[in-house]
């Protein structure tokens, strides 16, 4: 019995730990603060929600981040799915190396990756900006998508694809009509992961951005002069979208009950 109580206490402690910062962020989006400093409670207001896009620079930074994250999600999703599928399905010359590089890319420190990417872009003579940010994001997100997809493909019953071929489907049709729909949940998890990693990436972005400002970079730049409540509002909205996606995927991936 005490064991069970301790489990409850522990669970709630972890939940509190995880959500407290988020709750504070949400709360200060409703803070009726008079000046730029948003660090003490001055009463409840909804006005920041009406004035969320009032700061042009911040809005532009957010749009940049959303655009980069969307492109990253799509490109890394497509490339990562291809690599993950190949790694999970076939043994080919170099497949071991690709596998190793994937995990190395995931586990290598972002600082190192950012710095080396900067060197690469400079030595190639590519001016830093939205394009270099996106290239860098795609690069480090591919591995995450590939690893998630590969894990799913490894557990995929091979005879499903054989059955499709047996019923007259060519390899292309087999992939799109059978394999892809079945691994789609893994592909979308990988893509969401890529989006999430991209939209709040700071380290790699900072190295590759040049004069471009993304949402995290803007926040970092303005912490010294005080964060406007709009940042809390945008943070809250991004968080809510994330929660909504997480809830829908968990409902959809729940195994259907037998009637």
Partner 1 sequence: MDDRAAIELDGVHKEFVVHGETVQAVRPLDLAIGKGEFFSLLGPSGCGKTTTMRMIAGFEEPTGGTVYLDGRDVTNVSPNKRDVNMVFQSYALFPHLSTYQNVAFGLERKKVAKAEIRRRVGEMLEIVSLTGMEKRSPREMSGGQQQRVALARALVNGPRALLLDEPLGALDLKLRQQMQTELKRIQREVGITFVYVTHDQGEALTMSDRIAVMQAGRIEQLGSPREIYEKPATRFVAGFIGTSNLLDGPAGSVDDGIAVLTYGPGERVLVPVPDGVRPGDPLEVSVRPEKIDLGRDEPATAGGSVLTGVVTDVVYHGTSTNYTVKTAAGADLVVFDQNAYSAEDLAEPGDRVFLTWSAQHSYPIGVR
Please state, in angstroms and rounded to a whole number, the distance separating the CA atoms of residues 193 and 184. 14
Please state, in angstroms and rounded to a whole number, the distance separating the CA atoms of residues 252 and 125. 47
Q: 127, 138, 129: which is closest to 64 by C-alpha? A: 129
Pick between residue 56 and residue 166 the one whose CB is nearest to partner 1. 166
Pick between residue 164 and residue 197 the one whose CB is nearest to partner 1. 164
Distance of closest approach, residue 96 Cβ to partner 1, in angstroms: 17
Binding to partner 1 by CB under 8 A, coded x per residue (else -) over 174-193, reads ---xx--xx-----------
Give the angle 71-50-220 at the CA atoms, nearest 5°. 50
Is 255 an interacting residue with respect to partner 1 (CB under 8 A)?
yes
CA torsion sign for 52, 54, 55, 59 is positive
Q: 146, 158, 201, 212: which is closest to 182 by C-alpha? A: 158
Is 167 an interacting residue with respect to partner 1 (CB under 8 A)?
yes
Pick between residue 5 and residue 258 the one whose CB is nearest to partner 1. 258
Is the separation of the CB atoms in 190 and 72 below 8 Å?
A: no
Please state, in angstroms and rounded to a whole number, the distance separating the CA atoms of residues 28 and 233. 8
Is 56 an interacting residue with respect to partner 1 (CB under 8 A)?
no
Work out which of 11, 108, 119, 173 binds partner 1, going by CB under 8 A: 173
Work out which of 165, 203, 238, 245 binds partner 1, going by CB under 8 A: 165
Work out which of 155, 170, 211, 250 binds partner 1, going by CB under 8 A: 170
Q: Where do contacts with partner 1 occur on this chain (CB under 8 A)?
A: 157, 159-160, 162-170, 173, 177-178, 181-182, 255-256, 258-259
């Amino acid at each position: 019995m005490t064991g069970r109580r301790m489990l409850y206490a522990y669970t709630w402690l972890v939940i509190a730990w995880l959500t407290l910062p988020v709750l504070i962020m949400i709360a200060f989006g409703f803070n009726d603060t008079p000046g730029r400093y948003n660090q003490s409670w001055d009463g409840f207001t909804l006005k920041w929600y009406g004035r969320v896009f009032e700061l042009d620079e911040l809005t532009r930074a957010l749009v940049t981040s959303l655009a980069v994250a969307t492109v990253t999600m799509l490109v890394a999703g497509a490339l990562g799915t291809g690599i993950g599928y190949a790694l999970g399905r076939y043994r080919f010359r170099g497949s071991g190396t690709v596998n190793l590089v994937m995990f190395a890319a995931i586990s290598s420190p972002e600082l190192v990756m950012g710095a080396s990417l900067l060197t690469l872009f400079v030595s190639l003579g590519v001016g830093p900006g939205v394009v270099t940010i996106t290239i860098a994001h795609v690069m480090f997100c591919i591995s995450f998508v590939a690893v998630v997809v590969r894990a799913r493909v490894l557990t995929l019953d091979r005879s499903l694809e054989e059955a499709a071929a047996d019923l007259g489907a060519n390899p292309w049709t087999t992939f799109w009509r059978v394999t892809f729909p079945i691994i789609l949940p893994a592909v979308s998890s990988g893509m969401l992961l890529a989006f999430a990693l991209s939209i709040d990436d700071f380290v790699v972005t900072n190295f590759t951005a040049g004069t471009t400002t993304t949402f995290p970079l803007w926040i970092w730049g303005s912490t010294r002069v005080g964060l406007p409540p709009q940042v809390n509002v945008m943070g809250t909205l991004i968080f809510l979208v994330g929660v909504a996606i997480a809830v829908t995927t968990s409902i959809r991936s729940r195994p259907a009950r037998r009637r």
